Structure 1
Amino acid sequence: MNSLLLIINTLLIMTHTLPPLPYAMDALAPKMSKETLEYHYGKHLQTYIDNLNNLIKGTPYENMTLEEISVKADGPIYNNGAQAWNHAFFFNSFSPTPKSAPEGALAEAIKRDFGSFDAFKEQFGKAAIGLFGSGWTWLAADKDGKLVIVSESNAGNPLKKGLIPLLGIDVWEHSYYIDYRNRRADYVKNFWDIVDWKVIEKRFKK
């Protein structure tokens, strides 16, 4: 009986897995190379997921989603869980044939809160380039739909603050060093060429 219960409990534990990419590994080149994706997506993200699965065994977090872990956890579980969520969100923001600018309600909100789309990109880019060390810069919305730019160190994301992430850029060096070496500004500039605003609009509508 104890063996049967152990098997059942093991089956009930949520195992996090590497999410599939919505494009081929070489589809974003040269803005983001196949080699970068092989390391950033295939190795760094996989490591966060493997670490998380090991860390959550026997804890209250073992059946939580990545989003729940990102909101409720702290310490190593938060670091690995939030990084897994951040990266899955990040990689799903791109397309080899992206919609290059927002329309509709999102475009209106950007104009309302930043002055214009170009002004938003300038503010977002300055925040991403200026973030000291490793971390993320985010476009997020509050519950009333007001848009804000938030920079977070390390694994930080806006979920922890009750905000709704819409777009994030990873400025850890491993995200750009293969393609751009230490030229973070060039990485941020080319980031806009692969962001698919159709995806970001869907997130805003939700």
Structure 2
Amino acid sequence: MTFELPDLPYSKDALAPHMSAETLSFHHDKHQKSYVEKLNSAVNGTEFAGKSLEEIIRATAGKSGESGIFNNAAQTWNHTFFWHSMSPKGGGAPDGALARQIDRDFGGFDKFRSEFLEKGKGQFGSGWVWLVLANGKLEVVSTGNADTPIAHDSQPLLTCDVWEHAYYLDYQNRRPDYLESFLDNLANWAFAAEEFANQGEGSRTAARRYQDAQADYARSGKADDAGRAAQQALDGSEGKSLEEARRKTAGSSG
């Protein structure tokens, strides 16, 4: 299969002034696009051709000889998850079951917020800060460079990219300001709550539904058209099941 650059789930100016259209253009159209292109080149003709991103990530994690494939697969996955971790109507605090779990595991949202900010500020160099579910408990973790929780059997719920290209045009070297703006204005708690509700085997993130649908149709020789249709079907429709997406993509593929 050939991986494609997924569309953003909102317009490039939708997150302004907290994240500019210029930042999103460079980040999505240049950086993530490069990861996708390098991944396609790296897996072509190998045992990883035809596998999903998650399969590739788990199969190559920790293997020095496969670091190029791992890095580009993980960065492709991480960025897609990051786009969905933000919303034009984001920020603030969650409610419902996720809020109650945050209270239990962190002692309140303010304590979670402080830990998220500290982990993000303390990540040396490039990387990511995540809210994850691990062994039934919520944790804040940071990962360096391309590393990702799905390589370590944790379920991501929310992430913020702390590579400099994610914020330098808007915040220069003020990473703490960027992290605060992410939590206060952009964090997509509706998405995180859906991920939390779908915990366990069979859960499908918005990013995974797109990737899985594309992988399924690659096996039937309809990857490109169906992958684009899957993205269109899933954008803004995070409650739709994979089966519904399959019906839509099957109908559009001819």
The C-alpha deviation readout for 1:103-158, integer Å capped at 9, x for no partner, is: 1211111111111111101101100011100111111102x421111111100111
Counterpart of 1:77 in structure 2 is 69
The C-alpha deviation readout for 1:40-67, integer Å capped at 9, x for no partner, is: 1111000000000000011111111112
- Amino acid in structure 2 at the alignment position of 1:41: H
Matched, 1:54 2:45: no
Counterpart of 2:82 in structure 1 is 90
Q: Is the 8 A contact 2:39 2:73 kept in 1?
A: yes
- Say which of 30, 34, 38 aligns to 2:25: 38
TM-score by length of 2: 0.74
Counterpart of 2:151 in structure 1 is 160
Q: What pairs up with 1:1-206 in 2 under 5 angstroms?
A: 14-73=1-60, 74-98=66-90, 100-142=92-134, 144-192=135-183, 193-206=185-198
TM-score by length of 1: 0.90
Q: Is the 8 A contact 2:91 2:182 kept in 1?
A: no
The C-alpha deviation readout for 1:67-109, integer Å capped at 9, x for no partner, is: 2222221410000000000000001111112263211211111
CA distance in 2, matches of 1:116, 1:71: 33
- Amino acid in structure 1 at the alignment position of 2:19: M
SS in 2 for 1:139: strand
Q: Is the 8 A contact 1:100 1:196 kept in 2?
A: no
CA distance in 2, matches of 1:90, 1:99: 14
Greater helix share, structure number: 2
Name stretches of at least 5 consecutive residues in structure 2 with no aligned partner.
61-65, 199-254
Q: Where has structure 1 moved over 4 Å in runs of 4 or more?
A: none
- Amino acid in structure 2 at the alignment position of 1:183: R
How far 1:173 moved relative to its partner? 0.6
Report the count of equivalent residues: 192
Identity of aligned residues (%): 48
